[in-house]
Amino acid sequence: MVLADLGKRINNALQQLNKAPVIDEELLNQVLKEIQLALLQSDVNVKYVAKLKSNIIMKFKMEDSQGVNLKKMIQQAVVQELTQMLDSNKKPFVPKRGKPNVVMFVGLQGAGKTTTCTKYAYHWQKKGWRTALICADTFRAGAFDQLKQNATKVRVPFYGSYSETDPVAIAEEGVKHFKKENYEMIIVDTSGRHKQESELFDEMKQVQAAVNPDECIFVMDGSIGQACYDQAQAFRNAVNVGSVIITKLDGHAKGGGALSAVAATESPIIFIGTGEHFEDLEPFNPESFVKRLLGLGDIKGMITTVTEAVDMETQGKAIANITKGQFSIRDFQAQYKSILKLGSINQFMSMIPGMGNSILDKNNEKESIRKVKKFLTIMDSMNDNELDGVVAINPSRIVRIARGSGSSLEDVNQLLDEYKKISKVFIGLGKGLGKGGDIGNIMRNPNQIKNQMGAALDPKMIQGMGGMGNIMNMVKEMSKMEGVGDLMKGLGGGNMAEMMKSLGGNIPGLSGLTKKRR
Ligand SMILES: Nc1nc2c(ncn2[C@@H]2O[C@H](COP(=O)(O)OP(=O)(O)OP(=O)(O)O)[C@@H](O)[C@H]2O)c(=O)[nH]1
């Protein structure tokens, strides 16, 4: 989670409301002063910070302090004001499946445009869209090689030329080529310049006129803080910029300033860059971002992520098996595939209320993803009978599987151990749910589930989630929350079995995710 420090400081300020016996204007002023200071140090414009304070004080004065929970009201007001500060109030372009969506990227040199084009391509490709990249940057030497290398790494087809010097011709030709091949997401990377200059804007306009993109995304370096305002305005005035991606928000103190400044230009921010790797791209939604920043979770976002990540048909088969007391390696494989589709595990965890500041550091997360990928490769080397549990995997097969997947015996054994542990949890869960998969069964007999989950999850993970009691409360609370009903309906049965099916899709991987690299 980026800007974690800002979130922590705002949260700490709000905590004072919990401790105080009475919430009066003096205390509120003190809390707001600390929030203001944190925002100013994150380079948020003083004008927005002052407005946030006066709006919250006004709401406080309007409340009848007898009848409301003041702490909750103030917390909600802070969320609302921060969300408003980051909201451009403009709806971004939404790509449509099954048709060619041409998206052109513009920005200054070094902002991270080429890297972000690749991250964006990877994002859509992971969702199963036919995605392609075009390098129309003929200005910077080596730009085509960089894009080519990136595209190869994420396995996305690319188009470019070493000999053609006209960016317009390359962009036009590339778009024509990929449209003919029925690509759904066609991404055009254009040239940057060191500063805003007429040559850059002229070139962007020509490319835009030639390829007629559905969307033009402006990529901007977030480390410049509120200076983003002038840059975003200049690009908006020069070309038809539809939305913005702010990069380098990892480890930069001025992130809050960058985000609020761009929102003020009325350009929607659609993603933020949070690192140099291709998976370091977070979809941006102001409310979700603020709630996660303050550790309040984002159930709506979590439901969307889970719904997108879960393959309903495969999971349906897994849940049918579980309720029959079976859990095959193929079911296990389905859970691991879902984990990869979640995108960032940290980002997913921060959507869970109470887990705002992620439990994994970046190295651990990468290590965990590597492990998930390794396990998937090993499972790819098993035959159908082994995956479906028709035959047991004997020692000689373990040797063959290790050889076939290019892994060690230790890796294969580790996978089988993990599978055994997880299958115990799932089979226990299936028993707890009973035939109908009724939520009531779980809630009437929580100890059974608690014991089984407790045995399988990593103790550090349980601790990170506030203990087993807290995990059970979270499941209980989530089952009551807005949107969960829709998810359950969407999943078919409208019962807890279905919900556990989708959420459970992530539990197995988590048991190994907090293990430190040795
Ligand atoms: N830390 C961090 N680094 C980033 C991020 N996005 C890009 N970078 C780095 O920023 C540097 C510049 O990125 P490029 O993608 O080459 O920049 P560009 O804007 O395409 O440059 P031109 O093609 O010359 O216009 C590279 O070292 C990237 O790895 C991010 O979100 N976080």
- pLDDT tens per residue, range 309-325: 666 666 667 667 777 77
pTM above 0.90, yes or no: no
pLDDT of residue 365: 66
pLDDT of residue 448: 56
Amino acid at 272: I
The rounded Å distance from CA 273 to ligand 1 centre is: 10
In words, the CATH class of domain 4-86 is mainly alpha
CATH number of 101-290: 3.40.50.300
pLDDT of residue 59: 82
Residues of the chain with pLDDT under 70: 1-4, 64-68, 194-196, 297-316, 318-319, 342-365, 429-518
pLDDT of residue 351: 65
Sign of the dihedral through C-alpha 400, 401, 403, 407: negative
Best residue for ligand 1 mutational test, from 115, 154, 235 (most atoms within 8 Å of Cβ)? 115
Instruction: From the options 1.10.10.10, 1.10.260.30, 3.40.1110.10, 1.20.210.10, give the CATH code of 299-513.
Output: 1.10.260.30
For the chain, where do the domains classified as CATH 1.20.120.140 start and end? Answer: 4-86
Q: Please list every protein residue whose CB sits less than 6 Å from any atom of ligand 1.
A: 107, 109-116, 137, 140, 143, 192, 247-248, 250, 273-276, 280
The ipTM (two decimal places) reads 0.96
For the chain, where do the domains classified as CATH 1.10.260.30 start and end? Answer: 299-513
Give, using CA atoms, the residue closest to atom 29 of ligand 1. Answer: 276
The rounded Å distance from CA 210 to ligand 1 centre is: 26
Sign of the dihedral through C-alpha 402, 407, 411, 415: negative
Ligand 1 atom having least distance to the Cα of 272: 31
Best residue for ligand 1 mutational test, from 140, 276, 279, 347 (most atoms within 8 Å of Cβ)? 276
The rounded Å distance from CA 379 to ligand 1 centre is: 36
The rounded Å distance from CA 26 to ligand 1 centre is: 46
Partners of residue 188 on adjacent β-strands: 104, 134
pLDDT of residue 409: 95
pLDDT of residue 499: 37
Alpha carbon distance 69, 212 (integer Å)? 53
The rounded Å distance from CA 276 to ligand 1 centre is: 7
Residue with tokens 């897994």: 318
